């Protein structure tokens, strides 16, 4: 599996075995106390590290974006922070602190369609920084906003006009004037000028020009642009281009291309809407730009397929350059087949060679140079197969779990129920399959899951199936809780550190 571009890292599924990581709890933000009720608006709905990993953003159902910044002294990707500005001690593990928050979206009402538009943040994407300012995109179902977060100096008046030491007891200029009132001539001159009577200085306060100083700094979030009126359906994803100038937004049927500087115009590059909506068989579920090639992007569908498109081929990319999908095993089709095949999230590996996809039951790793099938499959919810009917009844089968890859491409991770998340090794000889609970007991020890035997899938080459857990219980033998689910997580771009959201709490783990 060679090729794929100059300077790319080794493929994620090759190489010698990588020893399993020992994951440890690092931090928690917003953890509720015993008996505390969580407000729905506080539930986290999006997580994203910036390119350096020094900043982390979360969005919630209340339309707020909260920013965190790295505080431990480390060398990140070849650049070192200015140590003179740091007022904290060296940490032995990655450490973040609250930076600021702002209200990104408000609830709206579409009067033409009689439709309420939620303020919930669906996705956050970091843009390139400039002049010390942070830039990011956030979106709800209909509106994308471009934000600039920057430190501003707070201006204060440090010297007032009135010198209090020379004013009267009540400190009022008017009072001192009235207390020493003098008869004035018709031309406005005073018979007894205070200038000629130095002894009367105490009756007139000395006057100063006000002095404005900038001493304190404050973080200010300002909305630079609003991109709206371009989607008839709910926006499910946004993705920045590597050119730093454009981004895409995707809903169920269309993908639009935007320029960051132009908010009133976008270009429709993918349109899967049929002439007759009764002929609709699949919808777009996620879209992502290639990390280095600005002309390539991939999007997934509710049928479990991933399409790779090249913007150089045509202005309207309804035809794909490559199609990635797994063939159904004969006789395996059921009522739930299409529902559980729907892909909820896709991510490109940092090297751009692989795509990770998450459907309801599993994680799949695809090589963009091999469209015959996934190079690896990791079972996440295989134990739930006998319970699909119950999951359909309570709508849990429609939960959209996200996925992520490590920066070196050696591992993948995704969430599950009971606030669990799972980490798998990607190399062919790896047996790593670790389950951790991000819960109100964050010090709970992780459990190393044993490797599972591979299953043959007919003609599909080199497919690995590992980590299936059919016990129907969590790492501690407890039955799974389908009301608590870990949907959102992100992997630090250059270190083995994971941020994950369980309800309103943000948990940080490192290895």
Query: Of 7-11, 35-39, 238-242, which range is least confident?
Result: 7-11
Average pLDDT, the chain: 80
Q: What is the pLDDT of residue 479?
A: 57
Residue pair 375/318 in contact by the 8 Å Cβ criterion: no
- Domains, in order of start, for the chain: 24-156+215-510 (2.130.10.10)
> Quick check: 8 pLDDT over 90?
no
pLDDT digits (tens, 9 = 90+) for 293-304: 999 999 999 999
93-96 contact pairs (CB < 8 A, 24+):
93/24, 93/26, 93/510, 94/26, 94/70, 94/492, 94/495, 94/497, 94/508, 94/510, 95/26, 95/27, 95/70, 95/71, 96/27, 96/29, 96/56, 96/68, 96/69, 96/70, 96/71, 96/508
Q: What is the pLDDT of residues 113-149, one digit of tens each?
A: 888 999 999 999 999 988 889 999 999 999 999 999 9
Average pLDDT, integer, range 307-316: 90
Whether the pLDDT of residue 354 is over 80: the answer is yes
Query: pTM of the entire structure?
Result: 0.78
């Amino acid at each position: 599996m060679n090729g794929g571009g100059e300077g790319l890292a080794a493929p994620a599924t090759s190489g010698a075995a990588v020893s399993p990581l020992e994951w440890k709890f690092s931090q928690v933000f917003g953890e509720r106390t015993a008996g505390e009720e969580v407000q729905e608006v506080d539930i986290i709905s999006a997580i994203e590290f910036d390119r350096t990993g020094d900043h982390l953003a979360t969005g919630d159902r209340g339309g707020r974006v909260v920013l965190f910044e790295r505080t431990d002294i480390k060398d990140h990707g070849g650049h070192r922070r200015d140590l003179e500005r740091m007022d904290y001690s060296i940490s032995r593990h990655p450490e973040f602190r609250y930076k600021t928050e702002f209200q990104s979206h408000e609830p709206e009402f579409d009067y033409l369609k009689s439709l309420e538009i939620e303020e919930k943040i669906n996705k956050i994407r970091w843009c390139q920084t400039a002049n010390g300012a942070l830039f990011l995109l956030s979106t709800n179902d209909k509106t994308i906003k471009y934000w600039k977060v920057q430190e501003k100096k707070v201006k204060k008046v440090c010297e007032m006009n009135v010198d209090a030491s020379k004013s009267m007891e009540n400190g009022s200029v008017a009072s001192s004037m009235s207390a020493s009132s003098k008869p004035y001539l018709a031309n406005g001159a005073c018979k007894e000028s205070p200038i000629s009577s130095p002894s009367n200085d105490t009756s007139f306060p000395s006057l100063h020009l006000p002095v404005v100083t900038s001493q304190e700094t404050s973080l200010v979030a300002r909305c630079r642009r609003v991109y709206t009126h371009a989607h008839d359906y709910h926006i499910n994803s946004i993705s920045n281009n590597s050119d730093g100038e454009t981004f895409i937004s995707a809903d169920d049927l269309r993908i639009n291309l935007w320029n960051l500087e132009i908010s009133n115009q976008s270009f429709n590059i993918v349109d899967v809407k049929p002439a007759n909506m009764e002929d609709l068989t699949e919808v777009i579920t996620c879209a992502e730009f290639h990390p280095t090639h600005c002309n390539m992007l991939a999007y997934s569908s509710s049928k479990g397929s991933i399409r790779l498109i090249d913007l150089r081929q045509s202005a309207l990319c309804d035809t794909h350059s490559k199609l990635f999908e797994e063939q159904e095993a004969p006789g395996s089709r059921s009522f739930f087949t299409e529902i559980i095949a729907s892909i909820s999230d896709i991510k490109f590996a940092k090297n751009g060679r692989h795509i990770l996809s998450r459907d309801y039951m599993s994680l799949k790793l695809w090589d963009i140079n091999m469209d015959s099938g996934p190079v690896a499959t990791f079972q996440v919810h295989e134990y739930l197969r006998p319970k699909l009917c119950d999951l359909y009844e309570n709508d849990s089968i429609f939960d959209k779990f996200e996925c992520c890859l490590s920066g070196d491409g050696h591992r993948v991770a995704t969430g599950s129920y009971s606030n669990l998340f799972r980490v798998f090794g990607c190399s062919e000889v790896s047996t790593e399959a670790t389950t951790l609970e991000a819960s109100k007991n964050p010090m709970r020890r992780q459990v190393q899951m044993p490797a599972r035997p591979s299953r043959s899938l007919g003609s599909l080459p080199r497919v690995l199936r590992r980590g299936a857990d059919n016990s129907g219980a969590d790492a501690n033998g407890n039955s799974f809780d389908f009301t608590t689910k870990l949907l959102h997580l992100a992997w630090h771009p250059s270190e083995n550190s994971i941020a994950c959201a369980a309800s309103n709490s943000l948990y940080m783990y490192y290895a």
